[in-house]
Structure 1
């Protein structure tokens, strides 16, 4: 195929070169010089384009690869924009202030990290969306935790851990359905099989958060003065009412009853806008400018200023621009075949069940780093590994679980991945800051590998089941048969 199209095959080194150059540029700009990651990603895109051109691709093909990458991210970009509007309208409508106020009144600082993890887990499990959970409950949780003197990175780690636990285990989650569908695994079989890595991961996370929380006032009184001042300031700046909690509840119910994320977020924006006008008494011009440029407040409480000067369409443009740039890089790697060349080398080192599961987790993580999108981290390795799992008499649910552990969960650790970018835009904490505290996301992939090493939770299939699967989905051909056919 390569010779027919005058295109050369990518060697492993040449396929890896753009990624290595991008990482070097990222380390120099972001870690050493303290700059934003946009330009290193553009440098990575340019490097990938040069490598593709040297291998026989024409510029119009490279350009189309970049556009294809951006198209993959368009649904995420729309949601990111809407989330900025949600945050602005909810701050202006007093909804965020109300959630923070009652959170400060009801939650002990020492148990806050455990509480917010469980709460985000329940909400995400109910609605099937980690992003919507972080954009609603997570935003309020950041305000509550920071008001209690808990470091933002620690709070973000707890929010992320709970949100991704619920998302991963929800039958309404898009990534959960994607992983099961691409591996031809029944959805509920897939979810049940994830218990082996997910429940221990959650228990470890809650245990760590319990001990981390003990330093923040075990009796709830250590920060009583600061919390009281915060609540007083909130009461002075906003009309606080439990009825305002009906707005986030309405959004959760919309998604629970299978309304798509975009119309559900629009419902939240409209309700927040109306609350700004008719509950908080804002004028129409201010309410509209809040949607565009975010809420503006000047109070004597610095914490109030830090938390509530936020939201709006403009606040998400940094996130949108980074998503677009990242997906141009991802598009070239994916559609030129560079990523497949890297994956083939990863597959070659897989020996036995442990090697195969480890390779799957590593490949999914690598796809998150190279293609900047968690969906691709599920799609590409599923195509690469499924037949190998079946031929080694491993049930497809082993693969679907490994894809979620290695792909869905690790997406948050890549600053230029759409998930890392989204979290920074919504929670205001960078990936390298919250990474040590995203305990659930960190330990679950290692538990998945440990399960493979011990054989616990690894389900085999019989030769009859293997042959039936290969006949149904591959016409009875093994990978060796197909390679032999291709070589003739």
Structure 2
């Protein structure tokens, strides 16, 4: 009963915090205290609690290193003009008749380069939604297309902290996992694009302003050279070069280009790498081009660490074992996938953020996959197609709210139009069923 009360109380705290706009870390700390107290009353003393929490927290260390590099890379890409140039060239390619499909594809490209949904939403997404408002486009459709694109990279980019967390939780190697995720993205991307092409024809952009591209030109040196830091990441990831070393090379390239092309002072570059990029408040790009830096990842890092620590406490209480026991009759590839989907929805609703959904779903389902002798890369791919993509479909989940808030759109109304988030799972599910049926026919 105490455990049930703990879950209800934690869910209420997290939900109220998200709805009131409080940082989710506060709710997580309170949830951690609640379950630690329950664990203590169950007979686990302070030393045992500390051991469980630290063992869980250690799982976050690999991801925290990635957070540091992502913050530095993003800061370097801002001050070098890489991100402004990506936005600039994307805008130049826009055909008003096909705005919706463009919103999806451009968001997908930027999110793949940045590896972050929030970073994409607060840069390219803001530009796109401003254009939608001025061009009489349905904001729910535009928002759905943008959030779909934001999670293309969040799911399968080598720079994505989310992908690193998946690999860490499932004991898989990053690049083999990325290859698997990219292959399972092809058909969903094509189908999603087809839907957005149809919606584009019904929702053309009636007004196309050039002020954003002109503002970028006035503030940055724009040419293909400043795209070099992003190109380096794409090329090195293609050759499966160590992602951390790739990021360091990209950071160095960004610093050099900022010094030479953008004429930035070295002190300004260091400040940006640490605190993030920000323009003068009077600048028209002030609300569009900002972010990155080491400290921009601090809150995200704390959330992941607390999530992993709380998962350690819950695991020490035997909760994950008890929950996974509910699926003891779920045998076979399809049933295990459905069990993962159910667990992902529950953890995404309960935890209120993507990290908790990934960590808790992985911990709960790990034993089920081992007992069914399912490959760990299949396990990681299942997590990607459920916990990662289901989280932004939950209106009170941070994965949805951060993007919808940045775009200033309704977090509920955009979900039906976020086709990529659920088409990916549907296609994946059908693909597994077809392969199993084919194998069954061949063995008869």
Using the TM superposition, give the Cα deviation of residue 271 of structure 1 relative to its aligned residue in structure 2, in angstroms: 1.5
Q: CA deviation at 1:281?
A: 0.8
| 1:27-42 superposed matches below 5 A | 27-31=15-19, 33-42=20-29
The equivalent residue for 1:475 is none
Whole-Å separation in 1 of the counterparts to 2:181 and 2:57: 34
CA distance in structure 1 between the partners assigned to 2:436 and 2:309 by the alignment? 38
| Equivalent residue, structure 1, for 2:30 | 43
Residue 307 (structure 1) shift:
1.3
Structure 1: segments with no counterpart, 5+ residues: 1-12, 466-488
Question: What whole-Å deviation, never above 9, does each CA across 1:399-434 have from its counterpart, x for those lacking one?
Answer: 7764543344335557999x949x959x95799577
Q: Who is 2:125 aligned against?
A: 142
Structure-2 change in CA distance of 1:415 and 1:251 (3 Å): farther
Contact 2:103–2:128 (Cα < 8 Å) also in 1: no
Structure possessing the higher relative contact order (Cα contacts under 8 Å, 6 or more residues apart): 2
> How far apart are the structure 1 equivalents of 2:154 and 2:223?
30
| Correspondence for 2:89 | 102
Alpha-carbon distance change, 347 to 108 in structure 1, aligned in 2, over 3 angstroms: farther
Normalization by structure 1: what TM-score?
0.70
Rounded to whole Å, the distance in 1 between the matches of 2:435 and 2:49 is: 43
1:159 paired with 2:149, answer: yes
| Farther off after superposition, 230-239 or 378-387 | 378-387
Q: 1:120 to 1:299 in 2, by over 3 A?
A: closer
Which residue does the alignment assign to 1:25? 13
1:35-114 to 2 correspondences below 5 Å: 35-114=22-101
* Structure 2 residue 355 is matched with structure 1 residue 374: no
User: Does structure 2 retain, via aligned residues, the 8 Å contact 1:118–1:162?
Assistant: no
Aligned length: 419
Per the alignment, do residues 367 and 137 of structure 1 end up closer, same or farther by CA in structure 2, a change over 3 Å counting? Answer: closer
Aligned 8 A contact 1:398 1:458 in 2:
no
Partner residue of 1:246?
228
Contact map agreement 2:119 2:291 (CA 8 A) in 1: no
Aligned to 2:255: 273
| Counterpart residue number, 2:136 | none
TM-score, with length taken from structure 2: 0.76
Q: Quick check: 1:113–1:158 contact (8 Å CA) kept in 2?
A: no
- Secondary structure at the aligned position of 2:367 is classed as helix
* Gapped regions of structure 2 (runs ≥ 5): 134-138
Provide closer, same or farther for how the CA distance between residues 442 and 459 of structure 1 changes in structure 2, counting only shifts above 3 A: same
Aligned to 1:478: none
1:345 to 317, 326, 329: 326
Q: For residue 316 of structure 2, what is the aligned residue in structure 1?
A: 335
CA distance in 2, matches of 1:217, 1:324: 44
Cα pair distance change 1:75/1:115, threshold 3 Å:
farther
Question: 1:148, CA displacement in angstroms?
Answer: 2.9
Deviates more, 1:47-56 or 1:103-112: 103-112
Deviation at 1:165, TM superposition (A): 6.5
Q: Is the 8 A contact 1:83 1:135 kept in 2?
A: no
Residue 424 of structure 2: which of 412, 427, 444 is its match? 444
State yes or no: 1:409 paired with 2:389. yes
> What is the distance in 2 between the residues matched to 1:306 and 1:192?
33
Q: Which of 1 and 2 has greater Rg?
A: 1
Q: How is 1:68-467 mapped onto 2 (pairs within 5 angstroms)?
A: 68-115=55-102, 117-118=104-105, 132=115, 141-142=124-125, 144-146=127-129, 148-149=131-132, 153-154=143-144, 156-163=146-153, 166=156, 191=180, 201-214=188-201, 217-218=204-205, 222-224=206-208, 226=209, 228-298=210-280, 302=284, 304-348=285-329, 350=330, 355-366=335-346, 372=356, 374=358, 377-378=361-362, 380-388=364-372, 402-412=382-392, 420=399, 424=402, 437-446=417-426, 456-459=434-437
The alignment's C-alpha RMSD in Å is: 4.3
Distance apart, 1:306 and its partner CA: 0.6
Query: Could you tell me how far apart the structure 1 residues matched to 2:116 and 2:13 are?
Result: 33
Work out whether residues 129 and 143 of structure 2, in 8 Å CA contact, stay in contact via their aligned partners in 1. no
Mapped to 2, the partners of 1:142 and 1:123 lie a distance apart of 10
The answer for the alignment partner of 1:477 in structure 2 is none
For residues 171-199 of structure 1, give each alpha carbon's deviation from its aligned partner in whole angstroms, at most 9, with x where no partner exists.
Answer: xx7689789988xxxx79x959985xx56
CA–CA distance in structure 1, aligned partners of residues 207 and 275 of structure 2: 33
Rounded to whole Å, the distance in 2 between the matches of 1:137 and 1:191 is 23
Could you tell me how far apart the structure 2 residues matched to 1:138 and 1:254 are?
Answer: 25
